[in-house]
Amino acid sequence: MLEQLGIRSLRPGPSGNEQAPNHANYDEAAANPFPVLPDPLTLNDGRKVATPQAWWRQRRAEIVELFEREVYGRVPAGVPSVAWTVTHSEDVTVGGRAAVARQITGHADNSAYPALNVDIALDLVLPAAAPGPVPVVIMFRPALSRVEGPRGLPGSSPAFEQLLAHGWGYATLDPASIQADNGAGLTRGIIGLANQGQPRRPDDWGALRAWAWGASRAFDYLQTDRAVDARRIGIEGVSRYGKAALVTMAFDQRFAMVLVGSSGEGGAKLHRRNWGEAVENLTGSGEYHWMAGNFLKYGAADASFGSRNAGDLPVDAHELIALCAPRLTFISYGVPEKGDAKWLDHQGSFMAAVAAQPVFRLLGAKDLGRSDDYMKERMPPVNAGLLDGQLAWRQHDGGHTDGPNWAHFIPWADRLLNTATVPRMRTDANSQLAHEALLRKMSQGRIDLYFIGDSIARRWGALDYPELLANWRTNFHGWNAADFGWGADRVENMLWRLDTGELDGVNPKVIVILAGTNNVGREPGGEEKVADIAAGIKAILDRCRTLAPRATIVLTSVFPRNDSMDVMPEIARLNQALARLANGKSVIFLDVTRRLADSDDRLLPGMMNGDGLHPTVKGYQVWADALRPVLTRLLGPRKKTDHAPPPTGDPSAVGRR
């Protein structure tokens, strides 16, 4: 690799032995030789990123490209597929709680190179008799460090017990079964299999990216398991596996949360800091395999291109953390006195988290609550966490472990996972296909009337509901109406779709919003839940006003639902809050509640399907009748011709038609 890069010699890394002549620096006065960090919100061409749309459309991809090319490496396009098999299952008891444990093996297709075999080892433990799908945290755990239970299944540990006690599950993933933790293994494992035993190219992936790839394949499996809530899958690791957990979260947007334990250099620590472990340690013989070959350039003392150092890196750790935004990102450390060595640079990691704050805020998330001056901000006291936002920090009083922080991570995540105001991507492939279809739809015709919503909105103008589509055409033909609803979307999912392009450049005259019923669900949640949903819908409204400033917005009341009468009082309070968002001019509130249900909130005959949630043709006609005078006033009488894009449908239904 050195020859490929034209490197003649590398600088040695500092020693962790403070008595050695080349010991690491622990003097804060000398810790910041490169105090100016790359700006995560400045495009490569120098323009500033001021909107979520610019982040998702341009800046995020630029940062990913730099990390792939220069730091962690690229996953090859032809990386083998993985087929998962449950090899053993049994009932177990963990911390006194009943659970179901499975051993699962993911076999990487080696038909193109049978000389190598890669079988990924994943153990999954779920609470027994859970009332529904549960959150799961994938935990990087080397096989030798696992607490073994019967027949090799993971047994008990404080983290495992706490997760099960909160009704969560966990999965332990053996990194060595994906890729060996040494340079000699680069022609074996998944990297070797993808390269058919040949050496790496300079921008090929290293072990950290390979372990992250393995975690993503474990995610693939988990989202096929109906006992797992695929919207709430997290990733966790400590030390080198803390680095891998952060890399996983940064590159795979499907993960909802991460607990990054004591990750240091190559993880949450700023490369540009001169404290403890340095770039030159990562480019040395013991750690270079974690990184892309190109990363060696930044440890070069003499090369065909001269020499480079940490200050020449085009990206730094704060941008890796920023790639996790706006999802839940918890940076964890212990204290040096208990074994979480100064070598890790706790302050340098805190600075990186502080420098990532602007991206979290831009995307609608809450940050650490500190100023953005990473050079002046200092870590809070030990055991004083910054846990109010989606970006969190806590230094516990233990050693090189994240164990003491699980008691804080789980309730923090429980509280923030379903926040309606923070945009959130749908993780399933069908939703991604639908999103791509809606992005294409924007340019396939003229759109004067734009509907955004969940399945209630989607079904009305969908190919896979021909009777409802006929009613849509009867009521909206001549107004150039387009349906941008998607089934099962929550408010935060609609926000994500708006932030990632589904209204860009459309400039409709009227936008109809119907959102919130999937956030309400079937169980009451109190005033805090109602306020959160209302705030999320206001965020949708605000996004629409920003993206289509000349449009009039028709904010439709959340429909009554009789699949659970217990939530009807909350729907009533939510609709009251939505009504207060309207001004009667640019934002009009349309309440159809009493057209669909009686004064006791019982649905009127024939309005909804048997599920008590989705309207029949009769119910949709009630909505259309309520909309008609508003739309006629705003758009004029319907024309005889229509130039709207052709309707779309559920991608998974295509083969069934």
Quick one: fold of 77-255?
Rossmann fold (3.40.50)
At the second CATH level, the architecture of 429-656 is: 3-Layer(aba) Sandwich (3.40)
Per-residue tokens: 9: 């010699």
- At residue 145, the pLDDT reads 47
Per-residue tokens: 110: 């080696």
559: DSSP letter: P
CA dihedral angle for residue 359, residue 362, residue 367, residue 371, rounded to 10 degrees: 80
* Domain boundary assignment for the chain: 1-72+262-399, 77-255, 429-656
CA distance 500 to 494: 10
CB 345 within 8 A of CB 273: yes
Pairing of strands 7-10, 300-303: antiparallel
Strand partners for 452: 484, 513
289: DSSP letter: G
Q: Label residue 46 left, alpha or beta by phi (over 0 means left) and psi (-120 to 50 means alpha).
A: left
Side chain identity, residue 46: G
Q: How far is CA 443 from CA 80, 115, 505, in A?
A: 35, 49, 9
Prediction pTM value: 0.95
- At residue 143, the pLDDT reads 79
Q: What is the largest CA-CA distance in the chain?
A: 86
Per-residue tokens: 486: 């998607």
Strand partners for 101: 90, 125
Strand partners for 590: 556
Question: 357: number of CA atoms within 13 Å, CB side?
Answer: 21
CB 172 within 8 A of CB 238: no
- At residue 156, the pLDDT reads 56
CB 357 within 8 A of CB 368: yes
CA distance 493 to 265: 34
Neighbours of 456 (CB within 10 A): 24
**Cis previous bond, 199, omega within 30:** no
Name the 3-class secondary structure at 343: helix
CA distance 499 to 56: 7
28-44 confidence digits (pLDDT tens):
999 999 999 999 999 99
- At residue 657, the pLDDT reads 42
Q: How far is CA 30 from CA 27, 35, 378, 637, in A?
A: 6, 11, 16, 72
- At residue 147, the pLDDT reads 46
Q: Which residues contact 542 (CB under 8 A, 6 or more apart)?
A: none
Residues of the chain predicted below pLDDT 50: 145-148, 150-151, 656-657
- At residue 551, the pLDDT reads 98
- At residue 548, the pLDDT reads 98
Q: Which residues contact 183 (CB under 8 A, 6 or more apart)?
A: 285, 288, 289
Task: Please identify which residue in the block is written with the tokens 């090899």.
Answer: 87
End-to-end CA distance of the chain: 54
118-162 confidence digits (pLDDT tens):
999 999 999 999 999 999 999 999 875 444 454 455 555 789 999
- At residue 154, the pLDDT reads 52
Q: Which residues contact 598 (CB under 8 A, 6 or more apart)?
A: 604
